[in-house]
Structure formats: C-alpha cells, structure tokens
Structure 1
Amino acid sequence: MRHPAQRLFVYGVLIRELAKGRAGELIAGLDAGRPASVRGRLYALESAADGGWYPILLPESDGGIVRGILHDARSVDWPAMDDFEDAHDGPDAEYVRREIAVTLADGASATAFVYCYARSIPADAEPIPGGDFAAWLSQTGRVAIGGRE
C-alpha cells in the first residue's frame, strides 16, 4: 500500500509571510519549511471580496519554475485545509489537492501535496513571470487576500 505524501508545498497565501486570518491559523503548526519549486504555470486572481490577490497553479511537467516552500505535513488538518482551499469532490471546486513532484533548492526530489487550480483559467487572470507570488506582489505593489473564511 502506498503512503500519502507527508509534505505540503505552498506557493501563495499559505506562505508564512503572506498568511493572514484563517490561512495563518492553518499553517501555525507547520515547520519552517524549505525553499522548493514545482513545474507549471502561475497566475494571480483578484478577490472580489477584499481586492487582494491570490495565486492559481497549473502544474505542467514542461512548465516554468514555480517557487514556494516545502513543509512537513504530518500535523496538517487536511479537512480544514481542503475547506479553506475550496478543494472538494463537487464540480464547482476551485482547487484540487494533488501529489506532484517537488524539487528542493539543493536539487533533491520529493513529492508533496499541492493545491492546483481545478477550473478553466479566468480571462482576467494575470500571469506571474518568474513563478514567485510573493515577489510578484512586491514588484507590483499589490497585496495578498485578507484571508478566506
């Protein structure tokens, strides 16, 4: 029997420096994590609720580099995390939790759970060149969403 990933790769509002509100609560018990990356395309969406931005990831083995943090996930409350990410079995889910390949800064490989966008890319989605959501926020003067409830 295959064991599920015991790691979580975060690339957006679950990064400690960006996590506010419920996001901050959900990651409070995680380790400091290690810089890592996945392959794919990263976009930003503006939240109609608070005007902040959040990223969407489309994993692609031949895509660009998407930067984030790899955490030990043994303490994650997966049902609560899935609820926060709107990752469920219904047709209107915004994200899906998938196990994908992750590369650590030292070149080591691992697999981790990653929340990947489950819908078609919205017309107003902004590509994030360089695949680094936090850097994109800083460069554009935009802010991350205040937190999903």
Structure 2
Amino acid sequence: MKKRFFFYGTLTHAHDNPVTRAVLPLLGPARRGWVRGRLHAVRHGEGWYPVLKPVSAGSVSGRAFGYVYDSGPRFTRATLRLLDSYENCDPRRPARSEYRRRTVTVHVPGQGTVRADAYLFNRPLHPGLCPIPGGDFAAFIAARGLSALGSGRAGARRR
C-alpha cells in the first residue's frame, strides 16, 4: 500500500512515542515542508498536541511546517488504521472524528510541491486553543519548555 503523509506534530521524528516507534520505521526519510494553514496547540493533561486548520490558497499568511514521509514496502492497511486511531479519525464516521485525513498540497523547498495525506482538525477553532506563531509545533514547545503529548511523562496521543 503506497501512501504519502504530511506530519506536523507528535507523529514526526522529533517526538518519541509508541506510535512513532511503530510507524516511522515503515516510512522513508523525512523531507521538510509546509502547507497553507494555521497551527494551534491543545493542552491535554501534562502534554500538548497541535491542530491544523487549512487556509485558502489566496491567503497571504498561514504556513504550517512539518515533514513529508513516503510509505515503504512494509506499510499496510493495519498501519493506516493505527494512524487513524491515534488521530481519532474514523473515515466511516467523519462527523464523530476529531481529525479527518485529507490530501493537501505540501511545499517542499528545492523540490516543488507534492500531494500528501494530512490529519486536519475537524472541529471549530475556539478561544481555548493557543495559536502557534511561526507554524512550527516542535519549535513552539521547545521555546516554551513544554512537553509534547505522548513524549513520556504526558501519556500517549496526537499528531
């Protein structure tokens, strides 16, 4: 099963959790990229995770940075189900899902654009969400000394 993903939060190689340990070995090397969108941080227990909301192509602001990963030969439908479960994404019941897996255009410096699946926030934004200036979740939590959800002491979950 051939897939391409854009991960922008706790599923990237910048974070260590049970899902990254299971899935990242089944994917090719990461390539830095960005999509049109805005990231917001959600605090859950002791950890944080990001949500991505797309912005229109005509918008002059709003970039969310992350990584593009191509699936390898050992990536299976079971792996995709694991990712969907982690992201609270049920393709059969999208209205009940916190995220929806959608194809987005990713800008990869020096390589143009590629299409990849990303998990997009499937709820309205609300004042309890913390905007991530600069659109980089890993930089946001590092600069503030925060912990990503699932990175050991905070439990397991999210992007």
Scaled by the length of structure 2, what TM-score is found?
0.83
Match of 1:121 in 2: 125
Match of 2:51 in 1: 56
Between structures 1 and 2, the one with greater helix share: 2
Letter in 2 for 1:38: V
Give a deviation string over 1:95-114, Cα, whole Å, max 9, x none: 00000111102151111000
- Could you say what secondary structure the match of 1:135 adopts? helix
Match of 2:34 in 1: 37
- Which runs of 5 or more structure 1 residues have no equivalent in the other structure? none
Q: Which runs of 4+ in 1 moved over 3 A?
A: none
- Which runs of 5 or more structure 2 residues have no equivalent in the other structure? 151-155
- Could you say what secondary structure the match of 2:42 adopts? strand
Aligned length: 144
Change (3 A) 1:5 1:66: farther
Of 124, 135, 157, the residue aligned with 1:148 is 157
Give a deviation string over 1:75-99, Cα, whole Å, max 9, x none: 2521111111001124221100000
Match of 2:153 in 1: none
RMSD of equivalent CA atoms = 2.0
Scaled by the length of structure 1, what TM-score is found?
0.88
